[in-house]
Amino acid sequence: MKPRRLIVLTVTVLIVSSFFIGAHCLALNAETVPDASDAADTRGVVIEKVGITNINAEKKYPGTVKASKTAKLAFRVAGPLIRVNIKPGDAVKRGQVLMQIDPQDYEDRIRVLEAQKAGVVAQLDTANLDFARIETLFNKKVIPEVDHDHAKNSVRTLTSSVTAIDAQLLIARHQLAYTSLRAPYDAIITAQLIENNEMVQPGRVVLGLHAIDTLEIEIKVPENEIISRGLRRGSEALASFPARPDKRFQVVLSEWNTDADPVTRTYAMVFTLPAPKDFMVLPGMTAEVIWSTPQNEDSSITIPAKALVTDSSGDSSVWVFDAASSTARKTKVEVGSLNGASRIIIKQGLAIGDQIVVKGVDFIRSDMTLKDISMEGNHE
C-alpha cells in the first residue's frame, strides 16, 4: 500500500506544479504582447496635395487614309490603242505619256486641211490682185460699181475661208495631241482598265492614278463634340498608324463637312500630312487621329480617379486628410470629365491645398489614425 500512495502523491505534485508554471507564462505573455486593437487603428496611406492642373481633353478618332489627289483618266478621241507605257504601281511624272492611240487618221486630217488652206490662200491671192485692178478701173469710172462690189466680196469670202480652215487645223492638232494620254501630275498608277490594241472610245476610263506625296486622313466627329471644337484651317493634331503604333505624326486640319451624315449624325473632318519617309502608308489604310482641345471647366482641380469613393446612391466622395489629427473625413465632391487616362476633374468640394487620400481609400474609417507613407520607398 505504501508504494501506491507514494505514486499518487507524486502525480498530484506534478499536476499542481504544471498549473502554476502555465499561469506564470500567461502572465508574462500578457505583459510583453501589445494590444492588437491599437495596431489595427493605424493604417498607412498615400496622400496627395490638391493643386491646379492644366486641363487638356484628348480625343481619339478612327480614320481612313486617302490620297490627296485622285484621278480617273480617259481619252478625248477614239482610235486603236497602240502603246501602253505603264503598269499599276508605277510612279509617273507630270506630262509623261502613259498610253498612245494610233495618230495616223488625225495626222491625215491635218494634211488634208493644210492642202485645202493652200488652195484657198492661192485663190485669195488671185482675188486680191483682181480687186486691185478693178478698184483702179472703178476709180476712173471705167467699170460699174457692181463689178467692184463683186470683186470685193470675193476677197472677203476667201479670207473667211482661210480663217475657218485655220480653226479646223487648230482643232485637228488638238485632237492629234489627245491621242497621247499624259499624266496630269506626279502620281502612282492605281489601275489599268484597257489592254493594248483595243479600240478606245472617247470618255471611257482607261487608267486610275493618285498622288500620295501628301496624304489625307478622314475622321467622323459626333455632333455633340463639334460645338466645343473651334474649326480653323491649319489646326494641329497627331496621328498614329497600326504599322507604327509607337510613333505619332503631326497633321493639320484642311477641310470639313458642314452637313451631318443623316444616319450617324457625324461630320467628316480631313487632316493632311506629308507621307512618312520611314515606312509606306497607302490609301485605304486605317489611322487614328489624336485631337486635343482646351476645356473651359469651372475648376481645374484634378485628382486620381482611384481616390474617388462612390456610394450606393451614386454620390462621389474623397477622404480629406487632417495632418494635425492624422485622421481623414469623407467629403462629397462634384466630378467632371476625365482628364487623360487616370485623372478626373473636380468641379466642387475641394480647394487648392487640401490633402486627400489617393491610395488605401477602401480600408479606412473616420476614426482611424492614418500614416502618410508617400515618401517611403515602396508603398505598393
196-244 per-position pLDDT tens digit: 999 999 999 999 999 999 999 999 998 877 776 778 899 899 999 998 8
Could you report the per-residue pLDDT of 56-94, keeping only the tens digit for each? Answer: 567 889 999 999 999 999 999 999 999 999 999 999 999
Looking at residue 319, the DSSP 8-state letter turns out to be E
| pLDDT for 25 | 44
Q: Sort residue 118 into left (φ over 0), alpha (ψ -120 to 50) or beta.
A: alpha
Sign, CA dihedral 232-235-241-246, equals negative
Select the CATH number that applies to the domain covering 61-67+211-294 from these four: 3.90.550.10, 3.50.30.30, 2.40.30.170, 2.60.130.10: 2.40.30.170
pLDDT for 134-168, tens place per residue? 999 989 888 899 999 999 999 999 999 999 999 99
Phi, psi angles (nearest 5°) of residue 93 = -105, 155
**pTM for the whole structure:** 0.59
pLDDT per position as a tens digit, 165-205: 999 999 999 999 999 999 999 999 999 999 999 999 999 99
Strand order in the sheet with 79-84: 180-182, 97-101, 79-84, 199-200
3-state secondary structure at position 283 = coil
CB 163 within 8 A of CB 170: no
pLDDT of res. 228:
67
Q: Give the number of other Cβ atoms within 10 Å of residue 249's Cβ.
A: 20
Asked whether 98 and 86 are in contact (CB, 8 A), the reply is yes
Please enumerate in sequence order all residues whose Cβ is within 8 A of that of 237, keeping only pairs 6 or more positions apart, or say none. 250, 251, 252, 253, 271, 289, 290, 291, 292
Largest CA distance in the chain: 196
Residue 24 region by backbone torsions, left for phi larger than 0, else alpha for psi between -120 and 50, else beta: alpha
CA R_g for the chain: 47
pLDDT given at position 376: 65
Q: What is the DSSP string of 120-150?
A: HHHHHHHHHHHHHHHHHHHHTT-S-HHHHHH
Q: Which three cell numbers stand for residue 45?
A: 496611406
Cell of 327: 485622421
CA atoms within 13 A on the CB side of 158: 21
Question: Phi/psi at 326 (nearest 5 deg)?
Answer: 60, 35
Coil, strand or helix at 8: helix
Predicted pLDDT at 248: 92
Q: How far apart are CA 254 and CA 53, in angstroms?
A: 31
Q: What is the pLDDT of residues 291-340, one digit of tens each?
A: 886 555 444 788 998 999 988 888 899 999 998 898 999 999 998 777 66
CATH code of the region 44-54+298-372: 2.40.420.20
